């Protein structure tokens, strides 16, 4: 499956990159699970007729799409478009997940009343706080996935430069400047 990345290289750099890919895929799989669980909690509040309930479910669906996009970015190799789309979608959904979780925990009763749920207030408050806890977990997992995606992109860039870790402007290597103002 997704976590079975095999390599016969004993190079520690390649092994660390493979481990980084595995951790990134694991973070995205956890995002998928947490977001789908949050959808089921939101559905248990019976929020479908309200616009806010639909937007909460839509936010979780966007989070699932971002996690799937992350898995696609890893499996496609070095395609910059997938990584860029993944990073942008993860940042946006993380911001909204954090906002929703703060809103849920600070004004649970008002938020539940605004959602027009058919569940009684005590049970609805508990379910909503569970969903808020999952939103916090998703928020943290999204930032972990973002950091891992950035590290994978950085390692791919460094490997593209021969693995020496030096960043050089290509024009400087071919055409050195004839005048260097700070020579001693």
Count of domains in the chain? 1
- Kindly state whether residue 169 falls inside one of the protein's structural domains: no
- Kindly state whether residue 80 falls inside one of the protein's structural domains: yes
CA–CA distances in Å: residue 9 to residues 1, 5, 159, 181: 20, 12, 15, 47
- On the question of pLDDT at 88 being above 70, the answer is yes
pLDDT for position 30: 92
Q: Are 94 and 60 in contact (CB under 8 A)?
A: no
- On the question of pLDDT at 89 being above 50, the answer is yes
What's the whole-number average pLDDT of the chain? 77
pLDDT for position 164: 40
- Kindly state whether residue 63 falls inside one of the protein's structural domains: yes
pLDDT tens, 118-176? 778 888 888 888 989 999 999 999 999 889 888 888 877 777 644 443 334 444 444 45
- Kindly state whether residue 148 falls inside one of the protein's structural domains: yes
- Kindly state whether residue 164 falls inside one of the protein's structural domains: no
pLDDT for position 143: 92
pLDDT tens, 34-69? 999 988 988 888 766 678 778 888 999 999 998 888
- Kindly state whether residue 6 falls inside one of the protein's structural domains: no
1 vs 80: which has the higher pLDDT: 80
- On the question of pLDDT at 182 being above 60, the answer is no
> Between the ranges 45-49, 83-87, 112-116, where is the mean pLDDT highest?
83-87
- Kindly state whether residue 168 falls inside one of the protein's structural domains: no
Domain extent, residue 46, equals 14-158
- Kindly state whether residue 25 falls inside one of the protein's structural domains: yes
């Amino acid at each position: 499956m997704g976590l079975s990345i095999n390599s016969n290289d004993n190079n520690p750099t390649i092994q660390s990159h493979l481990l980084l890919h595995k951790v990134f895929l694991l973070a995205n799989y956890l995002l998928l699970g947490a977001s789908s669980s949050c959808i089921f909690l939101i559905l248990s509040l019976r929020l479908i007729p309200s616009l806010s309930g639909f937007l909460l479910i839509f936010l979780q669906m966007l989070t699932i799409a971002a996690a799937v996009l992350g898995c696609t970015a890893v499996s496609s190799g070095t395609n910059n478009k997938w990584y860029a789309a993944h990073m942008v979608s993860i940042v946006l959904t993380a911001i909204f997940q954090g906002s929703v979780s703060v809103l849920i925990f600070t004004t649970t009763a008002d938020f539940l009343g605004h959602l027009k749920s058919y569940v009684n207030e005590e049970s609805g408050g508990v379910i909503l706080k569970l969903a808020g806890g999952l939103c916090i977990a998703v928020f943290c997992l999204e930032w972990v996935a973002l950091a891992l995606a950035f590290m994978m992109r950085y390692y791919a860039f460094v490997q593209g430069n021969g693995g020496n870790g030096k960043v050089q402007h290509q024009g400087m290597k071919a055409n050195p400047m004839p005048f260097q103002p700070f020579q001693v």
